[in-house]
Structure 1
Amino acid sequence: MALHDGAGARALRLQAGISVEDLAATAGVSLHTVRVAENGRHEPRPPVANAIARVLGVPVSELLHRERPLTLRDTRWRLGTTRAQTGVRVSVVRRQVSPVERGAAGMRFASTWAATQGLTLTPWSSAHEAARDLVRHGVAVQARRRGKQSTGGSDA
């Protein structure tokens, strides 16, 4: 599930009376970037999302979906940091950040990870578990789809 709420971002832009072209120019991003972010085909990187939020005059959290629990990726995204920047802060390589954010790894030095995201250990652990639950749900959905494909689409 995408973190960025493209339709919500578009609604905020329209409410502010800003054209797509003006938003792109003022945020310092391409017109294409704004368009694909608003129609949900692409999730902007944290620095781009922060620039868009700044132009719209809202906190970046206003550009997020709200129907699911907060995950570690969400907290990093809200801070406007990349995986590489997070890796530097916790002294790991960038490729080690994603497994932690997905809940697949990372309970070692959890307090260090939490501190880098401005969280205490309890909300960090909750966000870690929420990410793990989302991954498990996604795996289950994929397995059901594969099962339906192998049986010819029948649930019977």
Structure 2
Amino acid sequence: MTSYDGARARALRLEARIRIEEPAVAAGVSPNTIRSAESGTHQPRPRVADAIARALGVPLSEITPRGPSLTLRDVRWRLGLTQAEMAARIGVVRQMVSQIERGVTDVRSTATWAGAYGPTVVQWTSAHKAARDPVRQKVAAQAHRRRKKQPRGDST
């Protein structure tokens, strides 16, 4: 999964001898937000990550390395869009984008969604599957635990 590499961003910032306040000012956030992102405590919003990359003088891809398989969140994130902005692009509510990206819900028109996110229908489907599979595994594990907890009938 693509995510913000805080350790890489920190290393680049220190290497360039840039004080933490510079990317904070560029992104319009507090230095504590930058510290949290660099330490891995939280993932910055796309707008903030983009501003940090610009302040460091590197492309966004330098601090958001590509993982083995992109999810829809990753694709949207790379476009620099929030869930609300993607929802407006598609004509749905933000919660629908959240559910789709987490793999909780399927879509009726894959072509419409793929067009909004940018990749081909096949690539979009692959990214959606990358989010959906862990959700299905989690649901299956929860169901298995519930079955194990249910009292069994007496065999006498």
- TM-score category, normalised to shorter length: 0.7 to 0.9
What is the Cα deviation at residue 139 of structure 1? 5.9
Unaligned runs of 5+ in 1: 145-156
CA distance in 2, matches of 1:129, 1:108: 15
Tell me the alpha carbon deviations over residues 11-44 of structure 1, each in whole angstroms, 9 at most, x when there is no partner: 2222333121222123332111101000011111
Which stretch shifts more, 57-66 or 108-117? Answer: 57-66
CA distance in 1, matches of 2:102, 2:129: 9
Aligned to 1:39: 39
User: Retained in 2: the 8 A contact 1:72–1:131?
Assistant: yes
Aligned to 1:91: 91
Tell me the alpha carbon deviations over residues 133-152 of structure 1, each in whole angstroms, 9 at most, x when there is no partner: 343456678899xxxxxxxx
Q: Which structure has the greater CA radius of gyration?
A: 2
CA distance in 2, matches of 1:141, 1:92: 31
CA distance in 2, matches of 1:140, 1:2: 25
User: Retained in 1: the 8 A contact 2:27–2:51?
Assistant: yes
Runs of 4+ in 1 over 4 A off after TM superposition: 136-144
SS of residue paired to 1:34: helix
What CA RMSD, in Å, does the superposition of the two structures yield over aligned residues?
Answer: 2.7
CA distance in 1, matches of 2:43, 2:70: 17
SS of residue paired to 2:33: helix
Aligned to 2:26: 26
TM-score between the two structures when normalised by the length of structure 2: 0.80
**Greater RCO (Cα-Cα under 8 Å, separation 6 or more):** 2
CA distance in 1, matches of 2:5, 2:124: 23
Equivalent residue letter for 2:117: Q
Aligned residue pairs: how many?
Answer: 146
Aligned to 1:122: 122
Aligned to 1:70: 70
Equivalent residue letter for 2:55: V
CA distance in 1, matches of 2:22, 2:90: 38
CA distance in 2, matches of 1:101, 1:61: 21
Equivalent residue letter for 1:29: V
User: Retained in 2: the 8 A contact 1:2–1:43?
Assistant: no
What is the Cα deviation at residue 95 of structure 1? 0.6
Task: Percent identity, please.
Answer: 56
Which stretch shifts more, 31-40 or 46-55? Answer: 46-55
Tell me the alpha carbon deviations over residues 71-118 of structure 1, each in whole angstroms, 9 at most, x when there is no partner: 000001111101001111111100111111112223311111111111
